[in-house]
Chains A and B, each alone.
Chain A
Amino acid sequence: MKMTRRTQDRLGALLFVVPAIVLFLSFKYYPLLMTLYYSFTDWDGFSGDYRFVLFDNFANLFTESKISGAFRNTIYFAVASIIAGTVVQLGLALILVNRLKGNRLFRTLLYTPSVISSLIIGLTWLSFFQYNGIINQTLERIGLSSLVRNWLADAELTMNVLVGINVWQWAGYGMIIYLTGLLGIPTEVNEAAALDGAVGWRRLRSITLPLIMPAVTVNMFISITGALRVFELPFVLTGGGPMNSTNTVTMQIYNTAFLSNQFGYASSIGLTFFLFIAAITLIQLRVTRRLEVEY
């Protein structure tokens, strides 16, 4: 059989894509398909046989309070991180856009924590937040012992400590994205705004923010997908405690699979988690894209 030139050409092009496809199917989409498959079974991960339990796993995960709690904690972590993070990142970017002296140094310094593993970052802060750690010792010293808290073992407070560390780590990263957006605003727009007397909050809301919406879109996407996957910080600082108050979805999947040996059940949580993240990010991209304006 003789191939036409066209088919030959197309096959050649396809060959270029093959390595990426093979790698991708093996380690991304094939596992995702298997997650779907296992999620309908009661497999324990070790015995050779398992039963199909259909939707039992899903019915259980929506009623088991530890798991719905993990989803709640994760959502809280993401929402709080994004709100506090946006304020900090945008605030810093609005300062740095003025090109103050030394702004390069500040940029470098503020960005640095985002290149370190969250695990290392968590350990770095451990000595601050432990009960006899640096923060409580400082409070005692300056006579504010009434503010001494059990930072890492207080069901009301600990998740906020993790949020704080997360915001600290990513402040410079988001700041750079916003800064890029701000520097992209044409000078004429800013001059016109100044002439019209648009200043302060009003100018930020009605001129600056709409114009940097593309930066907001990207930043939100990165922050949401990042924050929802949180694992290292609670893993190393709290182990999910106290009273599961910092137990996140990724930790829950890890524990269900490898501590409780419930591979089927863990897969059903994983699948739910994937659908949840996909839905959230698609909604977010739609919403922030719609707010983008042309100039």
Chain B
Amino acid sequence: MHPSAGTPRTLRVVQYAILCAAAAMILIPVLNIVLSSFKTNEEINRVFTLPSSFNFANYRRVFQSSSVWMNIVNSFLVTGSAIAIAVYATSMAAHTLARRAEAGFQVLYYVFISASMIPIAANLVPLYVLINKLGLVDTRLSIILISAAGAIPMGILLYTGFIKGISRSLEESASLDGCGRIGLFLRIVFPLLRPVTMTYIVISSINVWNDFLMPLLFLRTESKKTITLAVYSYMSEYVNDWGAIYALLTIAFLIPVVFFVLNQKHFFGGVTDGAVKM
């Protein structure tokens, strides 16, 4: 037991007070959006009053005047595809990087890891030129490819560390049984990586989902935008319709929060994994 468990009562009261204040600081802005999303535009100016009724007019207006459904679908599509590519590419690469002793592969490991120091802003111009040349401007594929590449350093880091920690004996006996390299990986290794795969999926999905700069740069058509970009576009177009903006913000808030609450274990575990392996 932690020794300060025997702390005096006054100290504990102070600690609770701080925690409650912190919790209130988190809740107030969030409650403000949710409550405001049910207010009429006239009620919104009176910030200290509750909405007169739970009317969904704001939500109806948002769904009519924007392509929110499509934007949410796009976010799922972009995130899902980017992470699927990243999981496929990094788990296989990490298996080689973790198991081979050759110097070349060791260097490659550092080439992958050190790229986390390249800020996307440094590559803004060439990425724009490249996506233009590939004819991918205003396609979701542009965001998928860039996001998948962006997720690689973390994947290599997590997978290589994890694979180094599991014994080779299983792989060796399977390979004696005449299992090919790819079969060995798919049937024996990949299932063992499940815990780290979950962590990686959960953490990098949030990064891809929340990205704003790349969609801002490449997506033009409303129906192709991701939800984060769509919120910004909507807000620039319907400047005065705060009711609708709050409704859209509530929707944009809800999805990642639900995802987080359902996958808490992996979020907290992922933070710990990263901390151990750096």
Instruction: Point out the residues of chain A lying under 8 angstroms from B16, CB to CB.
Output: 100
Contact B3 A190 (CB under 8 A): yes
A75 to B188, CA, bound (A): 48
Q: How large is the interface on A (under 10, 10 to 19, 20 to 34, 35 or more residues)?
A: 35 or more
B-facing residues in A159-173 (Cβ within 8 Å): 168, 171-173
Find out whether the CB atom of B264 lies under 8 angstroms from the CB atom of A217: no
B129 part of interface (Cβ distance < 8 Å): yes
- Report which of A19, A217, A278 forms a contact with B92, defined as CB distance below 8 A: A19
Interface hits, B235-260 → A, CB 8 Å: 235, 242, 245, 249, 252-253, 256-257, 259-260
Query: B278 at the A/B interface (Cβ < 8 Å)?
Result: yes
Stretch of B60-68, B164-172, B191-199, B267-275 contacting A (4+ beta carbons < 8 Å): B267-275
Residues 105-124 (chain A) with a chain B CB within 8 angstroms = 106-113, 115-120, 123-124
Contacts of B19 in A (CB 8 A): 92, 95-96, 100, 106
Q: Nearest chain-B residue to A29 (Cβ)?
A: B115
Given contacts A98-B5, A217-B278, A254 and B100 within 8 Å (CB-CB)? no
A16 touches B95 (CB 8 A): yes
Closest to A19 in B: B89
* B124 at the binding interface (Cβ < 8 Å): yes
CB distance from A193 to the nearest CB of B (A): 8
Q: Which of B119, B211, B217, B231 has the most CB of A within 10 A?
A: B119
Q: Which of A196-218 contact B (CB under 8 A)?
A: 214-215, 217-218
Given A20-B92, A91-B18, A176-B268, CB of A28 within 8 Å of CB of B126? no
CB of A247 within 8 Å of the partner chain: no
**B103 CB–A CB distance under 8 Å:** no
Q: In the complex, which of the residues A98, A113, A117, A141 contacts B4, with contact meaning CB atoms closer than 8 Å?
A: A98
Whether B119 lies near A277 (C-beta < 8 A) is yes
* A23 and B89 contact, CB distance less than 8 A: yes
Q: Tell which of A79-87, A147-155, A268-276 binds the partner.
A: A268-276
Q: Is B176 an interface residue (CB 8 A)?
A: no
Cβ contact of B123, chosen from A28, A225, A278, cutoff 8 A: A28
Nearest chain A residue, comparing its CB with the CB of B260: A115
> Could you say which of A14, A91, A108, A267 contacts B126, with CB atoms under 8 Å apart?
A267
Q: Which residues of A contact B25 (CB under 8 A)?
A: 168
Report the separation of the CA atoms of residues A115 and B255 in the bound assembly, to the nearest whole angstrom. Answer: 10
- Complex contact B123–A270 (CB within 8 A): yes
- Interface of chain A, helix or strand or loop or mixed? helix
**Would you give the 0/1 interface string for B17-39, flagging 1 where the beta carbon is closer than 8 Å to chain A?**
01100110111011011001000
CB-CB nearest in chain A for B129: A34
Given the known interface contacts A17-B97, A31-B127, the answer about A221 and B278 at a Cβ–Cβ threshold of 8 Å is yes
Contact bitstring B123-142, A, C-beta under 8 A = 1, else 0: 11111111000000000000
Say whether A231 contacts B181, CB under 8 Å.
no
The answer, yes or no, to whether B2 is at the interface (CB within 8 Å) is yes
Determine if B119 and A229 form an interchain contact, defined as CB atoms under 8 angstroms apart. Answer: yes
Beta-carbon contact of A118 and B121 below 8 Å: no
**Contact between A116 and B256, CB atoms less than 8 A apart:** yes
Q: What band does the interface of chain B fall in when counting residues whose beta carbon is under 8 Å from A?
A: 35 or more
| Residue A56, interface by CB 8 Å | no
Task: Say how far B201's CB is from chain A's closest CB, in angstroms.
Answer: 14
Do the beta carbons of A111 and B249 come within 8 Å of each other? no
Partner of A20 from B93, B145, B228 at Cβ < 8 Å = B93
Cα A33 to Cα B126 with chains together (Å): 9
Q: How far is the CA of A27 from the CA of B253 in the complex (A)?
A: 30
CB B177 to nearest CB in A, in angstroms, measures 17
Asked whether, in the complex, the Cβ of B22 is within 8 Å of the Cβ of A99, the reply is no
Instruction: Tell me the smallest distance from the CB of A51 to a CB of chain B, in Å.
Output: 17
B179 adjacent to chain A (CB < 8 Å): no
Min distance, Cβ A287 to any Cβ of chain B, angstroms: 14
| Contact, CB under 8 Å: B260 / A120 | no
Q: What is the bound-complex CA distance between A240 and B209, given in angstroms?
A: 25
Instruction: Indicate whether A120 sits within 8 Å of B249 (C-beta atoms), given known contacts A35-B126, A231-B213, A274-B118.
Output: yes
Task: Identify the interface centre among A31, A134, A171, A236: most chain B CB within 10 Å of its CB.
Answer: A31
Given A31-B126, A92-B18, A120-B252, 4 other A-B residues pairs in contact with their CB atoms under 8 A: A106-B22, A120-B249, A123-B235, A218-B275
Which residues of B pack against A, CB within 8 Å? Answer: 1-5, 7, 12, 15-16, 18-19, 22-23, 25-27, 29-30, 32-33, 36, 47-48, 85, 88-90, 92-93, 95-97, 99-100, 102, 105, 108, 111-112, 115-130, 145-146, 148-150, 152, 156, 181, 185, 206, 209-213, 217, 228, 231-232, 235, 242, 245, 249, 252-253, 256-257, 259-261, 264, 267-268, 271-272, 274-276, 278
Chosen A-B contacts, 25 in total, with CB atoms closer than 8 Å, are A13-B100, A20-B156, A24-B112, A26-B130, A29-B115, A34-B130, A38-B126, A97-B4, A99-B5, A100-B15, A113-B26, A128-B29, A133-B47, A134-B32, A134-B47, A137-B48, A181-B275, A218-B275, A225-B116, A229-B121, A257-B124, A258-B217, A266-B124, A271-B122, A273-B122
